[in-house]
Amino acid sequence: MVYHSSFVDEEGITKACGCPILPLKSHIKGPAPISNQDKIDIVDEAISFFRANVFFRNFDIRSSADKLLIYLTFYINVALKRLEGCRTLAVGTKAIINLGLENVPVPGEHGFPFPGLFSSPQSQEEAELFRNYLKQIREETSGRLLSCAYRPNGTPNKWWLAFAKRKFVNIIVS
């Protein structure tokens, strides 16, 4: 059984492209509201559920936060694929920074991994809000993923990097 997001209460949450702009425990600038440091956020959920959810070919969506969980699971898969050949934390950090500098497509643009999952933006402002949120959440996920993928001494954690070979919902990461 797939793990779903616990963020189902969507009252007062801004949405862009059918995706909630959930609070993050982040120091990175962006449109996401700031969450308490002692609370679990969507990035924590995505990282903790990743190793279980990556085995599933289908993912039934129960809330709009599940869409974000799917996106983050895919992004973690992409990031692990980039980290696969990096033998030190320094090289891995460089690879993740380069991944963060890449263009972030939004629904309706070429390169967006889940064309039917999110609705297309209704305006340029909504597209930019969603792009900035995805960029912020990707950067935050990358930073937290490095502490999982590498041990404190800077060597790769094979129990995380082994999941780079998995394909989530039958999408092959190049």
Phi-psi domain of 21 (left: phi exceeds 0; alpha: psi -120 through 50; beta: other): beta
The CA distance from 23 to 36, in Å, is 9
Q: What distances in angstroms separate CA 74 from CA 52, 126, 151, one per listed residue?
A: 13, 22, 23
Superfamily for domain range 15-170: Actin-related protein 2/3 complex subunit 3 (1.10.1760.10)
Of the ranges 15-19, 30-34, 58-62, 106-110, which one carries the lowest mean pLDDT score?
Answer: 58-62
Average pLDDT over residues 73-94: 93
Cα dihedral 137/168/18/101 (nearest 10)? 30
Residue 10 is predicted with a pLDDT of 66
Residue 72 in this model has a pLDDT that exceeds 90 = yes
Residue 147 is predicted with a pLDDT of 93
Residues near 2 by beta carbon (within 8 Å), at least 6 away in sequence: 52, 53, 56, 58, 59, 60
Single pTM value for the model? 0.91
Tens-place pLDDT, residues 111-159: 898 888 899 999 999 999 999 999 999 999 999 999 999 999 999 999 9
